[in-house]
Amino acid sequence: MDFAQIVQTVALYALPVLFAITVHEAAHGYAARHFGDPTAAMLGRITLNPVKHIDPLGTIALPLMLYFATAGAFLFGYAKPVPVNFGRLRNPKRDMVWVALAGPGANLAQAIGWTVLLYALVFFGVEERFFTEMCEAGVLVNLVMFAFNLFPLPPLDGGRILVGLLPQPLAWQVSRIEPWGFFIVMALVITGVVSSLWMRPLMQLTGSAIKALLSPLRVLLF
């Protein structure tokens, strides 16, 4: 991959990635405040300022190193997690589910929004490939974040949702995985288990659901 292509790829994905990360994390903080925990609000994390959510290592350095090392074949990164004191939620076990769902839900909403914008560009005859490809990148990035974060293993959002839904004895057993969860998830990512058995099927299903949801708009525009 030549330098010009790398620059073009970074330019296409920079804005969608920043939006995807920022809105995802802010949504967690907003949901936590709504259900009784003001921790994120007090620390200034309920904001659309991406600087507040960027982790220099996980958001910038690690993805760039993996991108160059694998010629774009493998990417992984993370933002600074929004602090949530689950004990301060009004109903910790139930409300944990809603707080965890808020992040992936924000990514799903953004995937829908980028799709609508893509339809609008085509409808108005915008022929500049950069903008249409950015919309496609926005859909892809948010579908990736939506699917990955729903993987049912702590500390990912899907793991917290699982803990909130399971009966207390089983929830306690699953929650004990969290200290090693990151390393387990990374191993499953590297071996392709997460991608082939979870992310691809869920992304395809979600992409099809978005197209079905927006089919009336597509018929109206085209």
Which among 159, 205, 149 is positioned nearest to 179, based on CA atoms? Answer: 159
Residue 44, pLDDT above cutoff 80: yes
State residue 36 phi and psi, 5-degree precision: 115, -5
Cα torsion through 99, 33, 114, 209, rounded to 10: 30
Mean pLDDT over residues 105-121, rounded?
97
CB of 157 closer than 8 Å to CB of 100: yes
Residue 75, pLDDT above cutoff 70: no
> What percent of the chain lies above the pLDDT cut of 70?
94
Please report how the helices 200-213 and 92-123 are oriented relative to each other, as an axis angle in degrees rounded to 10.
60
Residue 73, pLDDT above cutoff 60: no
Residue 72, pLDDT above cutoff 70: no
CB of 22 closer than 8 Å to CB of 50: yes
Which residues participate in catalysis according to the annotation? 25
Residue 1, pLDDT above cutoff 60: no
Measuring CA to CA, how many Å separate 128 from each of 21, 36, 113, 115?
26, 46, 19, 16
Choice among 65-69, 113-117, 199-203 with the minimum mean pLDDT: 65-69
Mean pLDDT over residues 137-141, rounded?
94
Choice among 45-59, 152-166, 192-206 with the minimum mean pLDDT: 45-59
Q: How confident is residue 100, by pLDDT bands cut at 50, 70 and 90?
A: very high
Question: What are the sequence ranges of the domains in the chain?
Answer: 3-221
CB of 54 closer than 8 Å to CB of 21: yes
Mean pLDDT over residues 133-154, rounded?
94
